[in-house]
Amino acid sequence: MMNYLVLLLFVLGVSPVHGLVYSFPDCANGPLKNNTVCDTTKDPATRARAVVSLFTVEELMANTVNLSPGVPRLGLPSYQWWSEALHGVALSPGVTFAASGNFSFATSFPQPIILGAAFDDPLIKAVATIISTEARAFNNFGRAGIDFFTPNINPFKDPRWGRGQETPGEDPFHISQYVLNLIDGLQGGIDPKPYFKIIADCKHYAAYDLENWEGNIRNSFDAKVTLQDLSEYYLPPFQSCVRDAKVASVMCSYNAVNGVPSCANSYLLQTILRDFWGFDDDRWVTSDCDAVDDIFNSHHFTSTFPEAVADALKAGTDVDCGTAYSEHLPDAFNQSLITRDDLEKALIRQYTSLVRLGYFDPADVQPYRQLDWSDINTPEAQALAHKAAVEGIVLLKNDGLLPLKKSVKKVAVVGPVANSTTLLQGNYFGVAPFIVSPFQGATDAGFETTLVPGLSTVRDTSAAGFPAAIAAAQAADVVVFAGGLDEVVEREGTDRTTLVWPGAQLDLLTALQDVGKPLIVVQFGGGQADSTALKGSSKVNAIIWAGYPGQSGGTALFDIISGKTSPSGRLPITQYPAEYADQVAMTDMTVQPSDTNPGRTYKWYQNAPVYEFGHGLHFTTFSASWAGTPPAQYNIAQLLRAAPKGRPLDLAPFDSFNINIHNTGKVTSDYVALLFVNGTAGPAPHPNKQLVSYSRVHQIRAGSVGRTTLSVTLGSLARADETGSLWIHSGSYQLNVDTGPALLTHRFTLIGASTQITQFPRNPSA
């Protein structure tokens, strides 16, 4: 989404806002004081229409872009719609950090890929609540907007995607639950009244997961997607965000979907988004930045620019993140391609949302307007950032070395990420109050530490630093290698072409193995690199995936290594062997296997992964039992009759399964209960399995039992047909708790006629 000029400014530490300071309209003494927009007894839409009706056509067109000039004659100040807060208030055109002192930093939580690995929905809501509190505090002092272009909820189906780190993972059900809780925390509730806390923005709608792969560019890519995959894989997170969480904004993506650019796609923006999911007129759609420009320039969808902006506006893109609207809507208007009503519709949606944010209301009646610097980086925020990192870090391999014995004193921290700080934030980050590197984490944990990176970056191919690293390893009791991926290998605008560890990292690891000292490998980065050789080597004692763990990353890492806490994160993505990159093109949007596709994600991949989705080890052992034997048979008709009236059938309960988790080892630990279902019901091919529920059980003491309830809906059990409609199929199924050898299984049968529970909307223009 960010253009490269903005990214360069960020790297140089320069804010691209050019002095923009946010202010609020004066409803007490300003020009609008007698206008209905200032009447707090009226509903938001009525108030918005009252002020928008005063705009001239020229003012309407000028205010359709992200850097809205406002209307000075009406006392409406300039407003920047584009602020960022992916995992904390972030550098962006709408956010400015002070050079020092108040508002010079904000809490930097782990990237969403690590938050997703925690499989802890209450944690996600708590993180989002702190982010929105800090965002409001920044806004109250003129340093941020109240609209934030977050979260990224495109499923991370291809490990090469440069922006997968921004997402919670590959599974649409998991992402749907994540985003439901995230939006709840960001916006201050589900469709809160009277005020939104901030407005979130679910992006990128839709079927967007390609940046630049072998010359295929996101700005011109046409994603060919079947209705089945659209309904079953690409859209469920957006349905959850829009229909269930009531997000106030959605971003249309750069790519086209089945021949029509997303930001000009009335099937996506009107038929599905507004008509099917109920995205009402108090909510708005923004383009990704310069995506409206791409309709003409990159997709060549229209023959002129005025036609492109008219198509986007009439399809339902209300805000152009860019300048195409302000530059070309006048020509579109003069050519009668759009009307004043089209413009007013977009502006009323914008201003209705601003009314719901309290933009026009007195500060003393709004609790969010009282937030200030004292609400940023509080002890509670710091503790939560640390907790989130601990919960999301995943132990992939352990031969018994971890946790380290107290006799271990000397630790050599080696590798290109050994002393990294900013890298641990990933992308879309802000200025953190502090960042603990792996080396600092080891030192703070009390070890006698030696720092020898051996490689300057993860991409370094030189062996010049190897001798020093080997010497450090020889003098240590234990070696911790910190490497993996970084923001050059995987980033916005760039996809990977290989799944091999970058640079000479594996060569350095081979040399370290030959030293013969206990070796822990820590992989950072959002995507996975093929660790087959490391997994199979008896000289690699442990492998940890740490993603981008945020400000307390080094502390959290060594809390686990030292045994201060027990690991319990689970991989939210599949780790594929390197040959996967040669088996399927990134441009292939299908998820089911074919002659040219081994299948995508754990649901459909036909070969053996290196590490599977949901994999994660502990320092203890667990067993599980049902708290009451589940039924062996369910009647489809009875399930449908029992469904709550007035709610979508896909949200109707199927059953709730109560389970006991027994800690049979010697270490207190969390446990993530993952409930999968598989079976032969319905048409072939059948998925390997699919996640239908999950829950994180906290701090189960050694020898004790934790209890949790895994609730399953009809929608999570359903499958989409070729038209995209969901069906509950009669037949045989099996429930499995956990990955690999399941801790607990149960077979059941659905009897009666297979039944359709949703009707996916047809494309009127198809």
- CA 254 to chain centroid, in Å, comes to 18
Asked whether residue 12 carries a pLDDT value surpassing 80, the answer given is no
**pLDDT at residue 766 in the model:** 76
- CA 224 to chain centroid, in Å, comes to 23
**pLDDT at residue 9 in the model:** 36
- Average the pLDDT over 92-102 and give the result: 97
* Averaged pLDDT of the chain: 96
Amino acid 482 reads A
**pLDDT at residue 10 in the model:** 36
- Average the pLDDT over 677-693 and give the result: 96
Rounded to the nearest 10 degrees, what angle do helices 340-356 and 44-52 cross at?
130
CA-based nearest residue to 308, from 255, 263, 253: 263
Distance of alpha carbon 720 from alpha carbon 426, whole angstroms:
35
Asked whether residue 15 carries a pLDDT value surpassing 80, the answer given is no
Residue 713 contacts by C-beta under 8 Å, 6 or more apart in sequence? 650, 651, 652, 653, 654, 692
pLDDT one-digit tens code per residue, 338-355: 999 999 999 999 999 999
First to last CA, the chain: 29
User: In 298-336, which ranges are continuous DSSP H helix?
Assistant: 305-315, 324-334
Comparing 5-9, 388-392, 475-479, 689-693, the range with the smallest average pLDDT is 5-9
Q: Please identify which of the residues 121, 171, 288, 318 carries the catalytic annotation.
A: 288
Q: What is the tally of helices (H) and strands (E) in the chain?
A: 23, 27
For 692, the 3-state DSSP assignment is: strand
Asked whether residue 17 carries a pLDDT value surpassing 60, the answer given is no
Please provide the size of the chain in residues.
766
Q: Which helix (H) or strand (E) holds 641?
A: helix 636-641
Which pair of tokens denotes residue 276? 């099917």
- Residues 32, 351: contact at Cβ < 8 Å? no
- For 84, 237, 243, 759, the CA distances from 201, given in Å and listed in that order, are 10, 13, 13, 26
pLDDT one-digit tens code per residue, 646-664: 999 999 999 999 999 999 9
Which pair of tokens denotes residue 484? 């993996």
For 527, the 3-state DSSP assignment is: coil
Asked whether residue 80 carries a pLDDT value surpassing 60, the answer given is yes
pLDDT one-digit tens code per residue, 231-256: 999 999 999 999 999 999 999 999 99
Residue 674 contacts by C-beta under 8 Å, 6 or more apart in sequence? 119, 570, 614, 691, 694, 737, 738, 739
Rounded to the nearest 10 degrees, what angle do helices 121-140 and 172-187 cross at?
40
- Average the pLDDT over 83-95 and give the result: 98
- CA 661 to chain centroid, in Å, comes to 29
Rounded to the nearest 10 degrees, what angle do helices 305-315 and 324-334 cross at?
100
**pLDDT at residue 20 in the model:** 61
CA-based nearest residue to 614, from 734, 484, 740, 709: 740
pLDDT one-digit tens code per residue, 280-313: 999 999 999 999 999 999 999 999 999 999 999 9
Note the pTM of the prediction, 2 decimals: 0.96
Distance of alpha carbon 356 from alpha carbon 281, whole angstroms:
12
Asked whether residue 167 carries a pLDDT value surpassing 90, the answer given is yes
Q: What angle do CA 127, 129, 135 make, to 5 degrees?
A: 105
Q: Is residue 288 annotated as part of the catalytic site, yes or no?
A: yes
Quickly state the pLDDT bin for 2 (edges 50, 70, 90): very low
**pLDDT at residue 7 in the model:** 39
pLDDT one-digit tens code per residue, 393-451: 999 999 999 999 999 999 999 999 999 999 999 999 999 999 999 999 999 999 999 99
